[in-house]
Amino acid sequence: MLQKVSLPVKDIEKYRMLLGSELIDEIVALGEDLKGIRLCHINSTPFGGGVAELLSSLIPLTRGVGVSADWQVIRGDRRFFTITKSLHNALQGSEYPLLMKEATQKAYKINNLENARELDPDYDVFVVNDPQPAALRHFCDVDHAKWVWRCHVDSSEPDEATWQFLRPYIEDYDAAVFTVNKFVPSDLKVPKIAIMAPAIDPFSSKNMALPSSLWRDMLDNLDIDKSRPLISQISRFDPWKDPFGVMAVYRLAKEKVPGLQLALITSFAGDDPEAWDIYAEVNEEADKDPDIHIFSNLTGVGNMEVNAFQSASGVVIQKSIKEGFGLVVAEALWKGTPVVAGNTGGIPLQMTGELEQYLSTTIEECAEKVVYLLEHPDVAHELGQMGKEHIRENFLMSRLLKDELTLIKELIG
Please indicate, yes or no, whether residues 186 and 241 belong to a single structural domain of this protein.
no
Domain that holds residue 265: 212-394
User: What is the mean predicted confidence (pLDDT) over 125-141?
Assistant: 97
Q: Between vectors from CA 162 to CA 160 and to CA 166, what angle results, nearest 5°?
A: 115
Asked if residue 280 and residue 259 are part of one domain, the reply reads yes
pLDDT in tens, 299-338: 889 999 999 999 999 999 999 999 999 999 999 999 999 9
Same structural domain, 21 and 116: yes
Shared domain for 241 and 375, answered yes or no, is yes
pTM: 0.96
Residues in the chain: 413
Residues 309 and 371 in one domain: yes
What are the residues facing 292 on neighbouring strands? Answer: 262
Task: Report if residue 288 sits inside a domain.
Answer: yes
Q: Is residue 308 in a domain?
A: yes
For the four alpha carbons of 393, 396, 304 and 329, in that order, the dihedral sign comes to negative
Residue 206 resides in a domain = no
Q: Could you tell me the CA-to-CA distances from 282 to 7, 233, 268 in Å, in that order?
A: 34, 13, 14
pLDDT at 171: 98
Task: Please tell me whether residues 53 and 83 are part of one structural domain.
Answer: yes
Q: Which residue has the higher pLDDT, 298 or 191?
A: 191
| DSSP H stretches of helix in 134-287 | 136-139, 160-170, 212-221, 243-256, 274-286
Handedness of CA 132, 137, 140, 142 (dihedral sign): positive
Ordered DSSP codes for 98-109: GGGSHHHHHHHH
Q: What are the pLDDT digits (tens) for 276-307?
A: 999 999 999 999 999 999 999 988 899 999 99
What is the CATH number for 328?
Answer: 3.40.50.2000
In a domain, 274, yes or no: yes
Asked if residue 221 is part of any domain, the answer here is: yes
| pLDDT given for residue 201 in this prediction | 98
| Residue 322 shares a structural domain with residue 217 | yes
Q: Report helix, strand or coil for 292.
A: strand
In whole angstroms, give the CA distance from residue 70 to residue 75: 17
Q: Could you tell me if residue 305 is inside a domain?
A: yes
Residue 310's pLDDT is what? 98
**Is residue 96 one of the residues assigned to a domain?**
yes
Give me the mean pLDDT over the 40-47 stretch. Answer: 96
- 79 and 96 inside one domain: yes
Are 333 and 305 in the same domain? yes
User: 16 lies in a domain?
Assistant: yes
* Mean predicted lDDT score pLDDT of the chain: 96
Based on the domain organization, do 408 and 380 belong to the same domain?
no
Question: Looking at the structure, do residues 261 and 155 belong to the same domain, yes or no?
Answer: no
pLDDT band at 215 (very low <50, low <70, confident <90, very high): very high
Average pLDDT (169-186) is 98
If asked whether residues 189 and 252 sit together in one domain, one would say no
Please count the structural domains in the chain: 2
